[in-house]
Amino acid sequence: MTDIRDTLYANPLAQVGSFSFDQQVVDVFPDMIKRSVPGYPTILSMIGTLAERYVTSDSHCYDLGCSLGAATLAMRHNIRAAGASIIGVDNSAAMIARARQIIAADSHEEVPVRLEECGIEDIAIDNASMVVLNFTLQFIAPNARDRLLSDIAQGLNTGGVLILSEKVAFDDLPHQQLMTDLHHQFKRANGYSDLEIAQKRAAIDNVLIPESLDAHRLRLRQAGFSSVDVWFQCLNFASIIAIK
Ligand code: GEK
């Protein structure tokens, strides 16, 4: 099936409301995320590669903020360990409903997938060999992030891996401005107009709260991860591997 094109912000809106993961967004989500997040396909493909390497027998994998299950499927298609299963979690009813259809149509049934409609703050992580937060932590209130990361570290088995992908911010203001400008240039090259870019930016302001890579590294270390660093970055989008 070809993706439905994202035109949600193509026409001038009298008032730009706060961005939410509703049915309208779900309908265009695969196109939206590909045209907005530099490196998204590369990160998904590496999540598959990492699942092959890190997922152990009879353990759990978690896709927190799973949206339509893209990272769930990347793991499912590459897990080689016997008896592993995947839990996908998202608090958007529309996302989970569509994700259920997508997972049902996928034939790799040897790795069971369970989808839960709930907040990632409310899910118990246990016996985990791999946890994915692929562009989700940025939507969690900053004062709830330490606790969430500690809970994930607690629930991971020794040697288990967390993949944390985020939009990031920079303390150096000229560099922050440059990365923002280049990201907008990336979006223009992918067919978004200046109006779409400006309206989306207004909608997402205060909903997506990026932090610096140093802040992420520090939190992950404090949460109990023994090895933490960036494995991918393109402009202001990065992905970190943290090993328990
Ligand atoms: C992918 N990982 O395609 N609890 C559960 N889900 C949440 C919460 C929360 N508190 N807050 C936001 N979400 C996916 C992409 S998108 C990233 C992740 C983006 C969910 C929200 O409903 C949405 O589905 C997802 O987190 C973020 O690899 O759109 O930039």
Cβ contacts of residue 132 below 8 Å, gap of 6+?
A: 47, 61, 62, 63, 64, 71, 75, 162, 163
Is residue 81 over pLDDT 80?
yes
In this prediction, residue 72 has a pLDDT band, given cuts at 50, 70 and 90, of: very high
Q: How far is the CA of 71 from the centre of ligand 1 (A)?
A: 11
Counting residues of the chain whose pLDDT is more than 70, the rounded percentage is 99
Is residue 1 over pLDDT 70?
no
Residues framing ligand 1 (Cβ under 6 A): 21, 33, 65-67, 70-71, 89-92, 95, 119-121, 134-136, 139-140
pTM (global) more than 0.85: yes
